[in-house]
């Protein structure tokens, strides 16, 4: 089944952000074609149409660059997170170039930009993404391409994401890895975590790690994927996470210790 695009206009481009290190967020798209099984954006967006067909319906803010062009002249300069709810480099961006137009405007007006993506399409904009003005974060949950395909069906494969980090890091752009969500008995094994930290070490990237967020609609989509991997896994994940603090502590000390060993900076995202 293809993706349905709904073209809309927007009233604002830059929204205030309460996320650490960001002053504003900018999301050219509502909904995300990457369709990750664990994504909790549907609960953040509170958009029933998009949530009910996550990955299959995307609202496109077709005039976001024009709106942004007006806003940058009247808003205080601050760090813009792009994007905070959906992926700014999802497949439709290849054709529409809304993200590209927005970062061009932000850069021209000296707004620092923090990009987070799971797509190597970000490399297309390497001419704009320069040191000091930009940082680039790439989410890597697993180095196993088959598992990535199940969890993040239409995102770039893990090795392509690692290449994004290598490319920007080699040109002096600050890079980071978002290692999350960490799902019990799925991607929390030593081998996987070590390989991801090794990518961070090689590319001088910082690691932000995060737990699985069991927000509304997450298990409806993730549960069947986990069951498909190992029968009974969905139930076990819920049981392990219900112990909350124990599991988070265990994972946190494991990652911290591997990062220390490999000389990588790391911290828990959102105080997880
Ligand atoms: S790339 Fe991010 S926003 Fe898009 S589906 Fe995956 S987790 Fe959600």
Question: pLDDT tens digits for 60-97?
Answer: 999 999 999 999 999 999 999 998 999 999 999 999 99
- Compute the distance from residue 201 Cα to the ligand 1 centre, in Å: 25
- The rounded distance, in Å, linking the Cα atoms of 239 and 97 is 43
pTM of structure = 0.96
Which residue CA neighbors atom 8 of ligand 1 most closely?
39
Nearest to 197 by CA among 212, 182, 216, 177: 177
Determine the atom of ligand 1 nearest the C-alpha atom of 152.
6
What is the per-residue pLDDT across 161-215, written as a single tens digit (0 to 9) for each? 999 999 999 999 999 999 999 999 999 999 999 999 999 999 999 999 999 999 8
Q: What is the pLDDT of residue 1?
A: 66
Q: What is the pLDDT of residue 271?
A: 64
Q: What is the pLDDT of residue 72?
A: 98
Strands of 55-205 (E only): list them: 57-61, 80-82, 113-117, 134-139, 174-182
- Compute the distance from residue 90 Cα to the ligand 1 centre, in Å: 9
Which residue CA neighbors atom 6 of ligand 1 most closely?
36
More confident residue, 32 or 48: 32
Who lines ligand 1 at CB under 6 A?
32, 34-36, 39, 41, 86-87, 118, 152, 155
pLDDT, averaged across the chain? 95
Beta-bridge partners for 267: 208
Q: What structural domains does the chain harbor?
A: 4-271 (3.20.20.70)
- The rounded distance, in Å, linking the Cα atoms of 157 and 220 is 24
Which residue CA neighbors atom 3 of ligand 1 most closely?
86
- Compute the distance from residue 193 Cα to the ligand 1 centre, in Å: 20
Mutating to test ligand 1, I would choose from 152, 216, 221, 222 the residue with most ligand atoms within 8 A of its C-beta, which is: 152
Q: Which of 1-10, 140-149, 175-184, 241-250 has the least mean pLDDT?
A: 241-250
- The rounded distance, in Å, linking the Cα atoms of 272 and 239 is 18
Residue 272 has pLDDT above 60, yes or no: no
Phi, psi dihedrals of residue 31, rounded to the nearest 5°:
100, 155
- The rounded distance, in Å, linking the Cα atoms of 3 and 160 is 23
Q: Are 239 and 212 in contact (CB under 8 A)?
A: no
Which residue CA neighbors atom 7 of ligand 1 most closely?
39
CA dihedral 75, 11, 154, 239 (to 10 degrees): 80
Query: What number is the average pLDDT over the span 103-115?
Result: 98
* Angle at 177 (CA atoms; ends 212, 89), nearest 5 degrees: 90
């Amino acid at each position: 089944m293809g993706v349905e695009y709904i073209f809309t206009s927007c009233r604002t481009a830059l929204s205030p952000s309460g996320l650490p290190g960001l002053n504003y967020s900018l999301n050219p798209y509502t909904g995300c074609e990457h369709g990750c099984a664990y994504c909790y954006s549907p609960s953040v967006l509170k958009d029933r149409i998009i949530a009910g067909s996550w990955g299959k319906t995307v609202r496109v803010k077709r005039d976001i660059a024009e709106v942004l062009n007006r806003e940058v002249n009247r808003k205080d300069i601050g760090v813009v997170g792009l994007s905070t709810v959906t992926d700014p480099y999802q497949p439709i961006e290849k054709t529409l170039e809304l993200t590209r137009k927005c970062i061009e405007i932000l850069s021209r007006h000296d707004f620092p930009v923090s990009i987070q993506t799971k797509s190597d399409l970000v490399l297309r904009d390497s001419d704009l993404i320069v040191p000091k003005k930009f940082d680039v974060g790439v989410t890597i949950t697993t180095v196993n391409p088959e598992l990535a395909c199940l969890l993040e069906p239409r995102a770039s494969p893990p090795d392509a994401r690692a290449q994004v980090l290598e490319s920007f890091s080699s040109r002096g752009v600050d890079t980071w890895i978002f290692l999350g969500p960490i799902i019990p008995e799925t991607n929390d094994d030593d081998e996987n975590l070590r390989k991801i930290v090794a990518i961070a070490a090689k590319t001088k990237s910082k690691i932000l790690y995060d737990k699985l967020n069991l927000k509304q609609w997450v298990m409806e989509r993730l549960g069947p994927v986990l069951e498909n991997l190992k029968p009974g896994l969905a139930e076990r994940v819920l049981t392990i996470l219900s112990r909350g603090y124990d599991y988070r502590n265990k994972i946190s000390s494991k990652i911290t210790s591997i990062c220390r060993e490999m000389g990588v900076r790391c911290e828990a995202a959102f105080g997880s």
